[in-house]
Structure 1
Amino acid sequence: MAQHNPSLAGAIACALAVLAATAGPAHAATAQQERAQKTGEIPVCSRSLGTLAVVEPQGTNWWTGQRLASPAALIKVFVSRSRCFTLVDRGMGLKAMQAERGLAADGELRGGSNIGKGQIKAADYVMVPDVVSQNNDASGNKIGGLIGGLIGDRTAAAVIGGINIKRKSADVVLTVTDARSSEQVAMSEGHASKTDLGWSAGAGVFRGAALGGGATGYANTEIGQVLTLAYLQAYTDMVAQLGGLPENASAANAQQAVTVSKPARLLKQSDGKGGAVRDLDVGMMLYPTGNKAGLMWEVDDELGNRGWVNSTLFGLSR
């Protein structure tokens, strides 16, 4: 995982400010344009890295006090514009879809509606946007949601600020988890402050529909813009980390376990030669290796025995 210095954005802004004050007008304009472009552009991927569900962080809904939409809505805008993932809805859209399926199950929909089980696309990854640090400021000037220790002592010390309303600064974190293995495949931090807004004013990320899709408040409030830049920095770093993800996340993961549904035998070879390794009782769980020969699947049992079993004698574990 790439290490990121959360004070880098502020350091670059200060350096460019000095340059603008000492260099000629042409150089100052170029530096400012480069800074705005770097901060204000959403990265675009050449291919989708898989399907993604963006979910709200657990705990206090810190964004409601600032009249902001959930940061999940903001990240969905980034994901949609970057084309780095295919979004799947696990929020209000899913609830509405489940209601529609309820109507279908009750026989209320017209014939040929084609709504039923087995149609929902699985999420390969789950992304959670959060702020870093705990709320240890009783005056309410700082807000936080994620304990910094989760990302190491050095990083925690660097991003302990969370969101500081008075100073208009934000330290945020994005985590991505493999939905099948529960492995946390990436984590990135982002930092921004009020001083960064001067370099990013007018950048594409704040224009019109750029912050549509329910991400209200982020484009037209100062703290919202600071949070936008912080999350954009984290998302840009995240995309760089995820470049090595497999093209097919489902195939790259371990095969789903199966459960014996009828009395069976674990055979030494797929053609039945060599006899049986052992008998298999109904209800036993088996773990496919991925090797198949017609209807025969190679599997491991819970004791580590390996052999072949007819796939008509088991079903996918639920």
Structure 2
Amino acid sequence: MSRTCHALFAVALLAAPPLALAQQADVPVCSRNLGSIAVIEPTGQNWWTGQRLASPAALIKVYVNRSRCFTLVDRGTGMQAMQAERALAASGELRGGSNIGKGQVRAADYVLVPDVVSQNRDAGGTNIGGLVGGLLGNRRAAAVVGGVNLKRSSADVVLTVTDARSSEQVAMTEGHATKTDVGWRGAGGGIGGALLAGGASGYANTEIGQVVAQAYLQAYSDLVAQLGGLPSDASASNVSQAVTLTRPGRLLAAADGSGTAVRDLEPGMLLYPTGTRVGTMWEVEDEVGNRGWVNSAQLSNAR
């Protein structure tokens, strides 16, 4: 990173003290885990294979692993292989005691998508650079000229993080780099060595790959600083999952059953827990806003 970028990153870290970040091989390292995250390959035009690069998802996974900010969950090739194993288990082909079955897969708290900035209006593209600059008030908005420029060896990239439960976009950062920003510490160590070991060798071995990797590193560093305020338990901090009624019942006015019933309930109705419980009784709301109490023995998670 340039001296200016280091200074700006240091300022950003002051705004996110819960993470207690430290620099290690230019990748920010977190003192606490922010939850589980799935890195998803961007949709749309594939710009990386023409440059003999791996998907940018592979690059970001290297950064995630080195930063220790998130637990990485696989939603790509590893997931496909895992599903094949589960199919074998379901068909009875695996040995007894294999311990493969339902309820074991860890949920992704967040989804991270790496992409390049696109301003190709002739191809019907969206002015993402202007959008990012407008949302973030970014100092580099004027420098965003669109994607990866081979002639100038420059790259403008975007990282977005979405809450997997609420679908809320919790962060968006951009990164910009040129060949003058690149300073690898040898292919055998530092970031270069990490990329080789992490299956993103093209980013370490080519000039444009190093430029793109540096741009994503800048965006990831800003991203970690932005996410310093995330809750320590993403699952518990989110709105409770909807439940359904398994048999006919009543929405009671009080947890102890006193008073008149608010309404009758039919099997299959969607109810939304408020988080308040008294013994086996849960406080819930129906789809039109009626609030009352039901016995949790009558409920199952909506799927």
- Asked whether the two chains share a fold, i.e. TM above 0.5, the reply is yes
CA drift of 1:313 comes to 1.3
- CA distance in 1 between counterparts of 2:171 and 2:190 reads 24
CA drift of 1:10 comes to 6.8
- 1:148 corresponds in structure 2 to 129
1:235 alignment partner, one of 220, 233, 242: 220
1:279 alignment partner, one of 264, 273, 283: 264
Asked if the contact 2:62–2:195 (Cα under 8 Å) also holds between the matched residues in 1, the reply is yes
CA drift of 1:12 comes to 4.1
1:191 alignment partner, one of 172, 176, 183: 176
- CA distance in 2 between counterparts of 1:264 and 1:146 reads 53
Cα distance change of structure 1 residues 157 and 261 upon mapping to structure 2, 3 Å threshold: farther
2:185 alignment partner, one of 188, 198, 202: 202
- CA distance in 1 between counterparts of 2:127 and 2:74 reads 24
Residue 234 of structure 2 corresponds to residue 249 of structure 1: yes
- CA distance in 1 between counterparts of 2:237 and 2:23 reads 34
- 2:8 corresponds in structure 1 to none
1:73 alignment partner, one of 58, 62, 86: 58
Asked if the contact 1:262–1:313 (Cα under 8 Å) also holds between the matched residues in 2, the reply is yes
Asked if the contact 1:73–1:215 (Cα under 8 Å) also holds between the matched residues in 2, the reply is yes
- 1:82 corresponds in structure 2 to 67
CA drift of 1:277 comes to 0.6
Structure 1, unpaired ranges of 5+: 1-8, 14-36, 139-143
Asked if the contact 2:120–2:127 (Cα under 8 Å) also holds between the matched residues in 1, the reply is no
Q: When the two structures are superposed, what TM-score results if normalisation uses the length of structure 2?
A: 0.86
2:96 alignment partner, one of 111, 124, 129: 111
Q: CA RMSD in A?
A: 2.3
- 1:290 corresponds in structure 2 to 275
Question: Any idea what SS the aligned residue of 2:241 has?
Answer: coil
Q: When the two structures are superposed, what TM-score results if normalisation uses the length of structure 1?
A: 0.82
- CA distance in 1 between counterparts of 2:2 and 2:68 reads 28
Alignment of 1:248-267 (within 5 A): 248-267=233-252
**Count of matched residue pairs:** 280
Asked if the contact 1:77–1:211 (Cα under 8 Å) also holds between the matched residues in 2, the reply is no
Asked if the contact 1:39–1:233 (Cα under 8 Å) also holds between the matched residues in 2, the reply is no
- CA distance in 2 between counterparts of 1:75 and 1:296 reads 45
- CA distance in 1 between counterparts of 2:208 and 2:228 reads 31
Question: Any idea what SS the aligned residue of 2:254 has?
Answer: coil
Instruction: Give percent identity, aligned residues only.
Output: 70
CA drift of 1:315 comes to 1.1
Larger radius of gyration: 1
Structure 2 counterpart of 1:285, one-letter code: L
- 1:3 corresponds in structure 2 to none
CA drift of 1:289 comes to 0.4
Per-residue CA distance 1:265-314 (angstroms, 9 max, x = gap): 00011110112111111121100001111211100011111100011112
